């Protein structure tokens, strides 16, 4: 499989190069040159497979020609063996036609483990084959950092440095990063905000000499391999609840648009999907887009669902490319416009294609707590604030009652104990694998918000 950039001016690459590159050289994101197709008979056969076997089947066309092509079944087995639920991604029925797809049984209790557990292994394989080493650098406000660290811990040929804002993550989130005992994992508590952390990371990547010397790489959500791994659970849930005979609807709490875009990919590959309902918190750039056709940046406000406190949904660019009939020049113009004026408008024909398939809903913190209470009262389930936003989106449109609605549960409630307690009065205990997290030793370095200090630290370890 070859990959093309959404902005049309970068060289096409094979899977291994796309994995290591992340962003395309023209600033665009990579998408596959063609969408692999699964027939109705394929989908029927998928229903009998366990999660890791299905993952290998779904991803096989995307890695054709890669050094990992033949290794994929072994790698998916290894990646999903660390999940604590035997189903990996269990479906739980909430009401007559409403289901929760639990994506939080991985090592860090959030859905990002589905992609990152595999991506860590893919990096290792490709680097081994190429006899290369990389240094992964990232900034986190919480979830992404721990998922990336868990994915890269102990892997040959990878050093990982994660910056978090000192004192500004939850204690569970910080300990999930800092109690990992592996010599290639380096936590930096920066004296500053998340934006300061991100600025330092950007500056490291912008320094071409430093970037080249340490072979810097990122595992952020614009990496195609992360999207690819997430396609699997849409197909997994779809075939369990009726595909290929019946359609399903997905509701997805959304930040960077990576998760829900993976659902769109599953649909392009043959899964019958009626609709995608996109949930946002008060940071509602996507909801406003669906309502108006204009994507316009506003400031970020903190909310109960911090992993969706975003200013820009980077992966939306991939959808724009698809609905613009893969016109890279058109996407490029929109992104230039966005950079200049913090706003762009999608052409009416393309916007109509998007709204025919996607609907957006926003929910503020009060509403989020109310959904958490309602779900608790009607089903006995505790859900985290992100999941609550998704459930709200699932309930927001009058759809054909014969079509199952699947809300994605993106984090375990124990990851957000304060919000869960405030909403329901109940505490959600940490699962057994993490119960001792408050007793483990933490390892991190506190650094000033100073680019050179961060560079010195990286230099001293690599």
**Catalytic (active-site) positions:** 112
Beta bridge partners of 279: 253, 361
Stretch that binds ligand PLP, among 77-85, 117-125, 257-265, 285-293 (CB under 6 A): 257-265
Strand, helix or coil for residue 154: coil
CA angle, 84 then 123 then 266, to 5°: 65
Interacting residue with ligand PLP among 22, 28, 32, 255 (CB under 6 A)? 255
Strand, helix or coil for residue 158: strand
Which CB sits closer to ligand PLP, 238 or 253?
A: 253
Q: Does 172 bind ligand PLP (CB under 6 A)?
A: no
CA angle, 237 then 56 then 230, to 5°: 45
* Cα–Cα distance for residue pair 81/101, rounded to 1 Å: 18
Interacting residue with ligand PLP among 88, 219, 411, 420 (CB under 6 A)? 411
Stretch that binds ligand PLP, among 210-218, 254-262, 294-302, 445-453 (CB under 6 A): 254-262
CA angle, 403 then 90 then 242, to 5°: 30
Q: Does 169 bind ligand PLP (CB under 6 A)?
A: no
Stretch that binds ligand PLP, among 86-94, 162-170, 186-194, 250-258 (CB under 6 A): 250-258
Which CB sits closer to ligand PLP, 28 or 142?
A: 142
Interacting residue with ligand PLP among 32, 107, 192, 253 (CB under 6 A)? 253
Spatial contact of 149 and 160, defined as CB atoms under 8 Å apart: yes
Beta bridge partners of 4: 31
Neighbours of 77 (CB within 10 A): 15
Stretch that binds ligand PLP, among 116-124, 208-216, 252-260, 392-400 (CB under 6 A): 252-260
Stretch that binds ligand PLP, among 75-83, 256-264, 316-324, 365-373 (CB under 6 A): 256-264
Concatenating the DSSP letter of every residue in 181-249 gives --TTEEEEEEES-HHHHHHHHHHHHH-HHHHHHHTEE---TT-HHHHHHHHHHHHHHHHHTTTTTS-EE
Phi-psi map region of 262: left, alpha, beta (phi>0 left; psi -120 to 50 alpha) = alpha
As measured in angstroms, the least distance from the Cβ of 442 to ligand PLP is 22
Interacting residue with ligand PLP among 120, 238, 258, 360 (CB under 6 A)? 258
- Token readout for 238 is 């779809």
* Cα–Cα distance for residue pair 388/394, rounded to 1 Å: 10
Which CB sits closer to ligand PLP, 54 or 308?
A: 308
Which CB sits closer to ligand PLP, 155 or 412?
A: 412
* Cα–Cα distance for residue pair 444/178, rounded to 1 Å: 6
Which CB sits closer to ligand PLP, 124 or 384?
A: 384
As measured in angstroms, the least distance from the Cβ of 252 to ligand PLP is 7
Which CB sits closer to ligand PLP, 278 or 458?
A: 278
Strand, helix or coil for residue 448: strand
Interacting residue with ligand PLP among 115, 216, 265, 308 (CB under 6 A)? 308
Dihedral of alpha carbons 55, 61, 67, 69, sign? positive
With CB under 6 A, what is the number of residues at the site for ligand PLP? Answer: 16
* Cα–Cα distance for residue pair 353/326, rounded to 1 Å: 14
Stretch that binds ligand PLP, among 180-188, 196-204, 249-257, 287-295 (CB under 6 A): 249-257
Which CB sits closer to ligand PLP, 57 or 415?
A: 415
- Token readout for 261 is 């875009």
Spatial contact of 341 and 258, defined as CB atoms under 8 Å apart: no
Question: Is 444 exposed, middle or buried (CB count within 10 Å of its CB: 0-12, 13-18, 19+)?
Answer: middle
Q: Does 318 bind ligand PLP (CB under 6 A)?
A: no
Q: Does 259 bind ligand PLP (CB under 6 A)?
A: yes
HSE-CB of 414 using CA atoms within 13 angstroms: 16
As measured in angstroms, the least distance from the Cβ of 310 to ligand PLP is 7
- Token readout for 61 is 């066309």
Which CB sits closer to ligand PLP, 179 or 230?
A: 230
Interacting residue with ligand PLP among 5, 66, 178, 221 (CB under 6 A)? 221
Interacting residue with ligand PLP among 6, 108, 173, 254 (CB under 6 A)? 254
Binding site for ligand PLP (CB under 6 A): 110, 112, 143, 221, 253-259, 307-308, 386, 410-411
């Amino acid at each position: 499989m070859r990959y093309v950039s959404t902005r049309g001016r970068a060289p096409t690459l094979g899977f291994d190069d796309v994995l290591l590159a992340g962003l395309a050289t023209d600033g665009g994101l990579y998408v596959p040159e063609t969408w692999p197709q699964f027939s109705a008979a394929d989908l029927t056969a998928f229903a009998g497979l366990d999660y890791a076997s299905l993952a290998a089947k779904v991803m096989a066309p995307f890695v054709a020609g890669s050094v990992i092509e033949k290794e994929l079944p072994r790698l998916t087995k290894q990646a999903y063996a660390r999940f604590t639920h035997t189903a990996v991604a269990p479906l739980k029925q909430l009401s007559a036609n409403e289901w929760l797809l639990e994506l939080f049984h991985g090592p860090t209790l959030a859905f990002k483990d589905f992609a990152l557990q595999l991506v860590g292994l893919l990096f290792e394989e490709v680097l081994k084959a190429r006899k290369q080493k990389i240094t992964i650098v990232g900034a986190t406000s919480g979830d992404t950092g721990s998922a990336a660290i868990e994915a890269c811990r102990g892997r040959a040929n990878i050093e990982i440095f994660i910056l978090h804002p000192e004192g500004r993550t939850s204690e569970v989130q910080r300990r999930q990063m800092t109690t990992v005992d592996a010599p290639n994992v380096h936590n930096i508590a920066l004296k500053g905000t998340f934006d300061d952390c991100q600025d330092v990371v950007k500056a490291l990547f912008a320094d071409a000499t430093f970037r080249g010397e340490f072979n810097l790489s990122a595992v952020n959500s614009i990496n195609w391999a992360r999207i690819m791994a997430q396609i699997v659970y849409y197909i997994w849930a779809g075939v369990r609840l009726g595909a290929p005979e019946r359609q399903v609807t997905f509701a997805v709490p959304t930040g960077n648009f990576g998760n829900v875009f993976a659902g769109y990919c599953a649909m392009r590959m043959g899964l019958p999907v009626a609709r995608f309902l996109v949930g946002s918190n008060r940071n509602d750039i996507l909801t406003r887009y669906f309502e108006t056709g204009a994507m316009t940046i506003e400031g970020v406000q903190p909310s109960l669902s911090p992993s969706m406190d975003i200013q820009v949904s980077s992966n939306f660019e991939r959808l724009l490319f698809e609905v613009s009939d893969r016109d890279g020049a058109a996407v490029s113009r929109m992104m230039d416009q966005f950079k200049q004026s913090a706003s762009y408008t999608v052409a009416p024909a393309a916007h109509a294609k998007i709204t025919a398939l996607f609907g957006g809903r926003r929910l503020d913190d009060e509403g989020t707590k109310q959904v958490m209470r309602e779900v608790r009262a009607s089903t006995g389930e505790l859900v985290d604030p992100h999941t609550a936003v998704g459930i709200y989106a699932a309930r927001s449109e009058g759809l054909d009652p014969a079509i199952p609605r699947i809300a994605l549960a993106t984090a375990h409630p124990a990851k957000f104990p304060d919000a869960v307690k405030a909403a329901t009065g109940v505490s959600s205990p940490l699962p057994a694998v993490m119960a001792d997290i408050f007793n483990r030793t933490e390892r991190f370095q506190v650094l000033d918000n100073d680019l050179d200090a961060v560079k010195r630290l990286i230099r001293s370890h690599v």
